[in-house]
Amino acid sequence: MKSRRTAKVAEAIRQVVSSAILIELRDPRVKNVTVLNVDVAGDLRTAKVYVSILGDEKTELLSLKGLNAARGWLQSRIADQLQLRLTPVLTFLVDGGVKKSIEVSRRLHELGFSDEDEASSFESTDDPEELDDEAHSSQTDENDQTPEI
């Protein structure tokens, strides 16, 4: 379980690293990188930075090499902006979740599913009140019928 302090430090590191990559980092290898999450160890000595890199595997590997090459500079940016006794050692890990969701969306689109189909299926009789009204009206219809003699 994360303490409140480690959660705050993790979020601060995520903000510093994200803005440094976006605005200040001039490495041409680092392209289309998004910092998703940071996990900080309880002793604040290490931090795992989860990134999403859009592109093919070659682009992903180049960007990861660029991030690892800039690790010391990024750690110095963290040290400059955060008041910590020790600056955590950064480890960059690729989180494939975004890439997987894009792939699933693409495949669903190829199969003929679209966002409109999904929205209309949710708008159908999934409303519990509508289902209750339909069930109630069918029961009253059965009771209203008079038996034939």
Q: Which of 51, 80, 77 is nearest to 66 (CA)?
A: 51
Q: What is the pLDDT of residues 55-67, one digit of tens each?
A: 889 999 999 999 9
Say how far apart CA 106 and CA 140 lie, in whole Å: 47
Mean local confidence (pLDDT), 129-147: 51
CATH placement of domain 4-95: 3.30.300.20
Model confidence at 113, in pLDDT bands (50, 70, 90)? confident
Helix (H) or strand (E) holding 110: helix 97-110
Say how far apart CA 23 and CA 5 lie, in whole Å: 27
Which pLDDT does position 115 carry in this prediction? 61
Say how far apart CA 32 and CA 43 lie, in whole Å: 31
Q: What is the pLDDT of residues 35-85, one digit of tens each?
A: 999 999 999 999 999 999 988 899 999 999 999 999 999 999 999 999 999
Higher pLDDT, 106 or 20: 20
Q: Which of 30, 26, 20, 83 is nearest to 54 (CA)?
A: 30
- For residue 50, give both structure tokens: 């989860």
Helix (H) or strand (E) holding 29: none
**Contact, 37 vs 67, CB < 8 A?**
no
Q: Where are the domains of the chain?
A: 4-95, 114-144
Which pLDDT does position 103 carry in this prediction? 83
- For residue 133, give both structure tokens: 């009204």
**Contact, 28 vs 70, CB < 8 A?**
no
